[in-house]
Amino acid sequence: MKKITVALAGNPNSGKTTIFNNLTGTRQHVGNYPGVTVEKKEGVCRYQEYEIKIVDLPGTYSLTAYSTEEIIARNFIIEEKPDVIVDILDASNLQRNLYLTTQFMELGVPLVLALNMADVAKARGIKFDLEKLSHFFGAPVIPTVGNRGKGMDELLEAIIAVATGKFKKKHMPINYGKELENEINNIEKIISEKKKNECRKYGARWVAIKLLENDEEVRRLFNSQEVLSEVDERARRLEKLFGDPPEIILADRRYGFISGACQEAVRSTVESRYTMSDRIDSIVTNRVLGIPIFLGLMYLVFQLTFTLGDPPMGWIENLFGWLSEIVASWWPAGSESALKSLLIDGIIGGVGGVVVFLPNILLLFLAIAVLEDSGYMARAAFIMDRVMHKIGLHGKSFIPMLIGFGCSIPAIMATRTLENEKDRLTTILVTPLMSCGARLPIYALIIPAFFPTKLYGPMLWTIYVVGILMAIIMAKVIRSTLFKGASTPFVMELPPYRLPTLRGILIHVWERSWLYLKKAGTIILAISIVLWAATNYPKKSVYEHDYGKMLSSIETEYLNRVGSLGEKLGVTLDPQVMAAILEGDKDALGEISTRKNLLDEIVRMESLIQEAKKQFMTTIEVQGIEEGTAEYRSLQDQLANTLEKIKGNNPKVYDAVIAYLEEIKPQYEERLMEIENQKKAEELAYSLAGRIGHLLEPILRPMGFDWRIGTALIGAFAAKEVFVAQMGIVYSVGEADEESETLRKRLQASYNPLIGFCIMLFCLISAPCMATIAITKRETNSWKWAMVQLVGLTVLAWIITASVYQIGSILEIGFK
Amino acid sequence: MQNEKCQIPLTMVGEGERVKLCGVNAGRCLQCRLASMGLVAGAEIQVVRNSFRGPFVVKVGNCRLILGRGVTHKIMVE
Ligand SMILES: Nc1nc2c(ncn2[C@@H]2O[C@H](COP(=O)(O)OP(=O)(O)OP(=O)(O)O)[C@@H](O)[C@H]2O)c(=O)[nH]1
Ligand SMILES: [Mg+2]
Annotate chain B with DSSP letters as a single string: ---TT--EEGGGPPTT-EEEEEEE-S-HHHHHHHHHTT--TT-EEEEEE--SSS-EEEEETTEEEEE-HHHHTTEEE-
CB within 8 Å: A389 and B54: yes
- Asked, for residue A498, whether it belongs to a domain, the answer is no
Question: How far, in Å, CA of A85 to CA of A60, rounded?
Answer: 14
Kindly give, in sequence order, each residue whose CB lies less than 8 Å from that of residue A511, ignoring residues fewer than 6 positions away: A27
Domains of chain B: 8-77 (2.30.30.90)
Strands A84-90 and A2-10 turn out to be: parallel
To the nearest whole angstrom, how far is the Cα of B73 from the nearest Cα of chain A? Answer: 11
CATH number of the CATH domain containing A234 = 1.10.287.1770
Q: Tell me the CA end-to-end span of chain B in Å, nearest whole number.
A: 12
Residues A121 and A182 reside in one and the same domain: no
What's A482's DSSP letter? T
B3, B29, B62: best mutation site toward chain A, by most A Cβ within 10 Å? Answer: B62
- Asked, for residue A514, whether it belongs to a domain, the answer is no
**C-alpha A296: how far from its chain's center?**
20
A344-362 burial, b for 16+ CB within 10 Å, e for fewer? bbbbbbbbbbbbbbbbbbb
Question: How far, in Å, CA of A526 to CA of A262, rounded?
Answer: 60
Residues A52 and A157 reside in one and the same domain: yes
A64, A249, A494, A498: best mutation site toward chain B, by most B Cβ within 10 Å? Answer: A494
Pocket test for ligand 1, best of A8, A18, A60, A503 (most atoms within 8 A of CB): A18
CB within 8 Å: B42 and A252: yes
Which amino acid would we find at residue A382? F
Q: Would you state the pLDDT for residue B1?
A: 46
Q: What is the CA radius of gyration of chain B?
A: 11
A522-550 burial, b for 16+ CB within 10 Å, e for fewer? ebbbebbbbbbbbbbeeeeeeeeeeeeeb
Residues A65 and A159 reside in one and the same domain: yes
- Asked, for residue A682, whether it belongs to a domain, the answer is no
Residues A596 and A714 reside in one and the same domain: no
**Ion ligand 2: residues, CB < 5 A:** A 16-17, 36-37
Strands A266-268 and A126-128 turn out to be: antiparallel
Q: Is A715 in the pocket of ligand 1 (CB under 6 A)?
A: no
Q: Which domain holds residue A569?
A: 547-676
To the nearest whole angstrom, how far is the Cα of B64 from the nearest Cα of chain A? Answer: 5
Among A93, A381, A491, whose Cβ lies nearest the Cβ of B61? A93
Q: How many CA atoms lie within 13 A of A737 on its CB side?
A: 12
Residues A106 and A151 reside in one and the same domain: yes
Q: Does the interface ipTM go beyond 0.85?
A: yes
In total, the C-beta contacts within 8 angstroms joining chain A to chain B are: 126
SS3 A788: helix
Q: Are A747 and A411 in contact (CB under 8 A)?
A: no
Question: How far, in Å, CA of A735 to CA of A673, rounded?
Answer: 9
H or E stretch covering A190: helix A178-194
Q: Is A145 in the pocket of ligand 1 (CB under 6 A)?
A: yes
Q: How many CA atoms lie within 13 A of A298 on its CB side?
A: 22
Tell which of A215, A241, A268 closes a domain.
A268
Minimum CA–CA partner of B62 in chain A:
A93
Kindly give, in sequence order, each residue whose CB lies less than 8 Å from that of residue A450, ignoring residues fewer than 6 positions away: A747, A748, A751, A752, A753, A756, A757, A814
Kindly give, in sequence order, each residue whose CB lies less than 8 Å from that of residue A798, ignoring residues fewer than 6 positions away: A699, A703, A762, A766
Which residues of chain A register pLDDT less than 70?
270-273, 334, 590, 593, 733-741, 814-816
- Asked, for residue A340, whether it belongs to a domain, the answer is no
CATH number of the CATH domain containing A100 = 3.40.50.300
**Chain B residues 34-63 with CB within 8 Å of chain A:** 34-38, 40-43, 48-49, 51, 53-55, 57, 59-63
Instruction: Choose among A719, A750, A757, A723: nearest CA to A447.
Output: A757
Alpha helices in A687-706 (DSSP H): 688-700
Residues A48 and A125 reside in one and the same domain: yes
- Asked, for residue A518, whether it belongs to a domain, the answer is no
Kindly give, in sequence order, each residue whose CB lies less than 8 Å from that of residue B40, ignoring residues fewer than 6 positions away: A248, A251, A252, A255, B21, B34
This prediction has a pTM of 0.83
Residue A13 in contact with partner chain B when CB distance is under 8 A: no
- Asked, for residue A213, whether it belongs to a domain, the answer is yes
Tell which of A638, A657, A676 closes a domain.
A676
C-alpha dihedral sign at A494, A500, A501, A506: positive
Q: Are A242 and A212 in contact (CB under 8 A)?
A: no
Total number of domains in chain A: 4
Residues A608 and A714 reside in one and the same domain: no
3-state per-residue secondary structure call for A541-584: CCCCCCHHHHHHHHHHHHHHHHHHHHHHHCCCCCHHHHHHHHCC
To the nearest whole angstrom, how far is the Cα of A365 from the nearest Cα of chain B? Answer: 27
How is chain A split among helix, strand and coil, in percent rounded to 5? 70, 5, 25
Residues A669 and A718 reside in one and the same domain: no
CB within 8 Å: A93 and B63: yes
Q: Are A138 and A169 in contact (CB under 8 A)?
A: yes
Biggest CA-to-CA distance, chain A: 126
H or E stretch covering A374: helix A358-374
Question: How far, in Å, CA of A553 to CA of A413, rounded?
Answer: 64
Alpha helices in A391-455 (DSSP H): 398-403, 408-414, 421-430, 440-450
**C-alpha A765: how far from its chain's center?**
15
- The CA A620 to ligand 1 mean position distance, Å, reads 55
Question: How far, in Å, CA of A361 to CA of A367, rounded?
Answer: 10
- Asked, for residue A321, whether it belongs to a domain, the answer is no
Residues A427 and A395 reside in one and the same domain: yes
Minimum CA–CA partner of B63 in chain A:
A93
Among B28, B49, B74, whose Cβ lies nearest the Cβ of A214? B28
Residues A97 and A190 reside in one and the same domain: no
Q: Is A120 in the pocket of ligand 1 (CB under 6 A)?
A: yes
Instruction: Choose among A305, A318, A409: nearest CA to A358.
Output: A305
Question: How far, in Å, CA of A561 to CA of A563, rounded?
Answer: 5
Reported confidence tier of residue B4, pLDDT bands at 50, 70, 90 = low
Q: How many CA atoms lie within 13 A of A815 on its CB side?
A: 8
Residues A637 and A744 reside in one and the same domain: no
Nearest CA to ligand 1 atom 16: A30
- Asked, for residue A374, whether it belongs to a domain, the answer is no
Residues A21 and A158 reside in one and the same domain: yes
Q: Would you state the pLDDT for residue A763?
A: 93
Q: Would you state the pLDDT for residue A815?
A: 63
Tell which of A626, A641, A676 closes a domain.
A676
- Burial of residue A270, with CB atoms counted within 10 A of its CB: 0-12 exposed, 13-18 middle, 19 or more buried: exposed
Question: How far, in Å, CA of A179 to CA of A395, rounded?
Answer: 41
